[in-house]
């Protein structure tokens, strides 16, 4: 009997779990559908810097097949064609092979961009032919592709550095940042910065918040941003809590900031309506926040991973914001669906260029 009642409970648990999963995936799918439909309305050329990676080839196939993007696989042509054939894909991918063809103009451009940063002509030549992250970055910078994805086979900082050096930030921006969209049963949350700025000052936090709010609107979400800390509106005062507080002041004084933002506040204040309305009813946020800006990279990276793994959120990202052209740096080990999702986000970014 004990075993029977145990298994009945398990069945019920499983059913409840599956219902929760379905509800959550439903929200996630809904969010991605917004972006996928926008992408399909005007697909753009997306350079996949790690073209010889099997997952990239599969992702390229899906993006092309579903009309999300026009993928360009960067890498050794023979290997890419062989991978596509081995996978049995009915797919004749567009391949750009840095070792084959005349890419002197890319080497010249890289040299022109970086010669006053210590790069020699020989190094520029070497990097263009042997480092597909530099090749794809120049390709996008030159307008031969509209967007770039990389990162699957590299450590995040080394995949990020070439686009930062070659493409750089948008004219009105100084900082790039990595944003994760987390979808829960009844809500979505954008977390920033989860991947780039180690110890941001108030100006950086304010800029990252504005980029993230813009991104939220691209997903049809009206942003309400909370600057997170371990302090609530001045309850603890030191250098750490002052940065998010100063960032709020900068944004409240900025006439271009047209979304709700407040803080500094603790994470539960940001997401629990009763705390926000009961104790901090003076806050600018009239509903719980959906943009969470963390005070530093440790908090941001740890925070989103805990939410994803323990809170059971579905994650889309990391989406790089603040760049001059759309670039997204995947995490090592990301799945094909993650690549396709970020490809769609990149296409939508490119449509806004």
Helix (H, G, I), strand (E, B) or coil at 175: coil
* Nearest distance, CB of residue 4 and ligand ACO, angstroms: 45
Interface with ligand ACO includes 68 (CB under 6 A)?
Answer: no
Nearer to ligand ACO (CB atom), residue 165 or residue 351? 165
What is the spatial distance between Cα 232 and Cα 279, in angstroms, rounded to a whole number? Answer: 10
Residues 6+ positions from 326 with CB-CB distance below 8 Å:
140, 146, 147, 148, 345, 346, 347, 349, 350, 353
* Nearest distance, CB of residue 10 and ligand ACO, angstroms: 34
Nearer to ligand ACO (CB atom), residue 57 or residue 160? 160
What is the spatial distance between Cα 87 and Cα 128, in angstroms, rounded to a whole number? Answer: 29
What is the spatial distance between Cα 206 and Cα 204, in angstroms, rounded to a whole number? Answer: 5
What is the spatial distance between Cα 15 and Cα 263, in angstroms, rounded to a whole number? Answer: 39
Interface with ligand ACO includes 64 (CB under 6 A)?
Answer: no
Interface with ligand ACO includes 26 (CB under 6 A)?
Answer: no
Calculate the dihedral angle through the C-alpha atoms of 134, 136, 137, 139, rounding to the nearest 10 degrees.
Answer: 120
Interface with ligand ACO includes 101 (CB under 6 A)?
Answer: no
Nearer to ligand ACO (CB atom), residue 11 or residue 142? 142
* Nearest distance, CB of residue 190 and ligand ACO, angstroms: 15
> In the set 40, 161, 218, 337, which binds ligand ACO (CB under 6 A)?
161
Interface with ligand ACO includes 248 (CB under 6 A)?
Answer: no
Interface with ligand ACO includes 296 (CB under 6 A)?
Answer: no
Interface with ligand ACO includes 117 (CB under 6 A)?
Answer: yes
Nearer to ligand ACO (CB atom), residue 165 or residue 284? 165
3-state secondary structure 193-252: CCCCCCCCCHHHHHHHHHHHHHHHHHCCCCCEEEEECCCCCCCCCCHHHHHHHHHHHHHH
Binding-site size for ligand ACO (CB under 6 A) equals: 17
Nearer to ligand ACO (CB atom), residue 197 or residue 290? 197
Site string for ligand ACO, 172-211 (x = CB under 6 A): ---xx------------------xxxx-------------
Interface with ligand ACO includes 234 (CB under 6 A)?
Answer: no
Reading the block at residue 74, the tokens are 């960067």
Count CB neighbours of 36 within 10 A: 21
Stretch of residues binding ligand ACO (CB under 6 A), selected from 37-45, 70-78, 153-161, 246-254: 153-161
Helices 156-166, 132-141: crossing angle, 10 deg rounding: 30
Count CB neighbours of 194 within 10 A: 25
Interface with ligand ACO includes 318 (CB under 6 A)?
Answer: yes
* Nearest distance, CB of residue 183 and ligand ACO, angstroms: 18
> In the set 66, 79, 165, 351, which binds ligand ACO (CB under 6 A)?
165
Residue at token pair 């609530």: 232
Under the rule (CB under 6 A), what is the footprint of ligand ACO? Answer: 117, 156-157, 160-161, 164-165, 169, 175-176, 195-198, 301, 318, 331
């Amino acid at each position: 009997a004990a075993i029977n009642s145990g298994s009945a409970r398990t069945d019920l648990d499983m059913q409840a779990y599956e219902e929760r999963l379905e509800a959550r995936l439903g929200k996630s799918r809904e969010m991605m559908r917004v972006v996928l439909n926008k992408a399909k309305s005007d697909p753009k050329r997306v350079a996949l810097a790690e073209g010889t990676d099997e997952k990239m080839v599969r992702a390229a196939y899906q993006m092309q097949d579903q009309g999300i993007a026009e993928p360009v696989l960067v890498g050794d042509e023979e290997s890419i064609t062989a991978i596509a054939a081995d996978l049995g894909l009915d797919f004749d991918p567009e391949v750009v092979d840095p070792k084959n063809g005349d890419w002197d103009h890319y080497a010249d451009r890289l040299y022109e961009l970086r010669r006053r940063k210590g790069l020699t002509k020989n190094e520029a030549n070497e990097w263009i032919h042997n480092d597909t992250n530099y090749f794809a970055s120049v390709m996008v910078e030159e307008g031969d592709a509209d967007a770039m994805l990389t990162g699957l086979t590299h450590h995040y900082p080394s995949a990020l550095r070439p686009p930062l050096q070659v493409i750089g930030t948008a004219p009105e921006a100084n900082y790039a940042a990595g944003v994760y969209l987390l979808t829960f049963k009844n809500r979505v949350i954008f977390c920033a910065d989860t991947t780039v700025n180690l110890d941001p000052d108030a100006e950086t936090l304010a800029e990252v918040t504005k980029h993230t709010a813009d991104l939220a609107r691209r997903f049809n979400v009206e942003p309400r941003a909370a600057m997170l800390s371990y302090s609530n509106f001045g309850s603890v005062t030191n250098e750490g809590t002052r940065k998010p507080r100063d960032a709020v002041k900068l944004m409240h004084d900025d006439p271009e900031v047209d979304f709700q933002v407040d803080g500094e506040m603790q994470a539960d204040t940001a997401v629990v309506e009763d705390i926000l309305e009961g104790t901090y009813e003076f806050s600018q946020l009239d509903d719980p926040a959906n943009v969470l800006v963390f005070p530093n990279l440790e908090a941001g990276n740890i925070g989103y991973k805990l939410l994803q793994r323990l809170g059971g959120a579905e994650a889309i990202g990391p989406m790089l914001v603040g760049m001059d052209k759309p670039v997204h740096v995947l995490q090592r080990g990301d799945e094909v669906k993650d690549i396709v999702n970020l490809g769609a986000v990149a296409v939508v970014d490119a449509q806004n260029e």
